[in-house]
Chains A and B, each alone.
Chain A
């Protein structure tokens, strides 16, 4: 075990607002995590390769102007692109939650069809089909996936909170079927929205209208994972809405424990 030595950078910039629970989630599973402002990576004050995990937290980075995640992604695209690609090739972990997922998609790191990073985005998290900010708990079902650190098994049904206005996962209409089949074939789809019985259902169970009920995906290597639900807000049982009824569940903790197990084995 090398818990103290696993270093996690929780990336922040103007408008990110889930840093605290993100940092604590990794801290509580034994990682040495710290806040890192994106400008400190850009101007060389801090080095991306000193860390084992980059955590893109939720929030409204860049005020969600242009598109959610687009401004954060554009800050990284120029100066840090090569470094991030190397980081991923080294099989370290990149996690993007909610706004962080949007950043990873805008960067071309997810779904990453045909390579670690695509020159242009291959997908988008478009405005919810309901045209509302959806803020509630949802059920997601775990798929057979190649993510290196998801411990849940295929078919497991868990509940996690969501809070987003732009979460509708879409692929280019003219290549939708091709990309989707490719992602299914390579086991990149990690979790899908479902109803309380585990059936893949429409709204409100699928809260944003995502194609194929997609809630979270990983890249081909399996070390970049992005999801719209917030596992860091489901770390303790008392955060679960049924805590006072039946003691609740801490489904999110498992994700961070899995990351820690993977990183400890690998580094």
Chain B
């Protein structure tokens, strides 16, 4: 089996309201050193071991997981 780890976040320049809310909350808790917070979403997907695993992961992003208008993504693969 292959474990796909797909990490999705906002593109540079796209505002992240959730990240901003977390940052403000951390500041309120006196974490004064916090400069910025980005919230990322991670999908861990187990698929059958094939040579096309990376391509399949990219298709998953294209067709469902990512909206290319605002998102960037990163794919990592691990044999398990």
Q: Which chain A positions have C-beta within 8 A of B21?
A: 131
Q: Quick check: A106 and B14 within 8 Å, CB to CB? A: no
Q: Which chain B positions have C-beta within 8 A of A209?
A: 15
Q: Quick check: B64 and A131 within 8 Å, CB to CB? A: no
Report if A100 contacts B (CB, 8 A): no
CA distance A77 to B59 in the complex (A): 13
Q: Quick check: A123 and B17 within 8 Å, CB to CB? A: no
If over half of A's interface residues share one DSSP class (helix, strand or loop), that class is named, otherwise mixed; here it is loop
Interchain CB contact (< 8 A) of B64 among A66, A122, A130: A66
Question: B38-80, CB under 8 A of A: which get 1 and which 0?
Answer: 0000000000000000000000001111011110000000000
Q: Quick check: B18 and A127 within 8 Å, CB to CB? A: yes
The count of residues in chain B whose C-beta lies closer than 8 Å to any C-beta of chain A is 16
Q: Quick check: B18 and A70 within 8 Å, CB to CB? A: no
Q: Which chain A positions have C-beta within 8 A of B63?
A: 74, 77
Q: Quick check: A170 and B14 within 8 Å, CB to CB? A: yes
Tell me the nearest residue of chain B to A127, going by C-beta.
B17
CA distance A66 to B64 in the complex (A): 8
In the complex, how many angstroms separate the beta carbon of A221 from the nearest chain B beta carbon? 22
CA distance A171 to B70 in the complex (A): 8
Report if A121 contacts B (CB, 8 A): yes
Report if B20 contacts A (CB, 8 A): yes
CA distance A209 to B20 in the complex (A): 15
Q: Quick check: A131 and B18 within 8 Å, CB to CB? A: yes
Interface size band for A: 20 to 34
Report if A109 contacts B (CB, 8 A): no
CA distance A202 to B11 in the complex (A): 24
Report if A126 contacts B (CB, 8 A): yes
Report if B32 contacts A (CB, 8 A): no
Q: Quick check: B70 and A170 within 8 Å, CB to CB? A: yes
CA distance A187 to B20 in the complex (A): 35
* A131-B20, A131-B21 known; A124-B67 Cβ under 8 A: yes
In the complex, how many angstroms separate the beta carbon of A79 from the nearest chain B beta carbon? 13
In the complex, how many angstroms separate the beta carbon of B31 from the nearest chain A beta carbon? 19
CA distance A4 to B20 in the complex (A): 52
Report if A129 contacts B (CB, 8 A): yes
Q: Quick check: B70 and A124 within 8 Å, CB to CB? A: yes
Q: Which chain A positions have C-beta within 8 A of B68?
A: 120-121, 172
Report if A150 contacts B (CB, 8 A): no
In the complex, how many angstroms separate the beta carbon of A112 from the nearest chain B beta carbon? 14
Report if A67 contacts B (CB, 8 A): yes
Tell me the nearest residue of chain A to B22, going by C-beta.
A131
Tell me the nearest residue of chain A to B12, going by C-beta.
A173
Further 4 A-B residue pairs, CB within 8 A, beyond A126-B14, A209-B15: A66-B64, A70-B64, A170-B70, A172-B69
Please list the 8 inter-chain residue pairs (A to B) with the smallest Cβ-Cβ separation, ordered nearest first. A131-B17, A124-B69, A131-B21, A124-B67, A74-B64, A172-B69, A173-B13, A127-B17
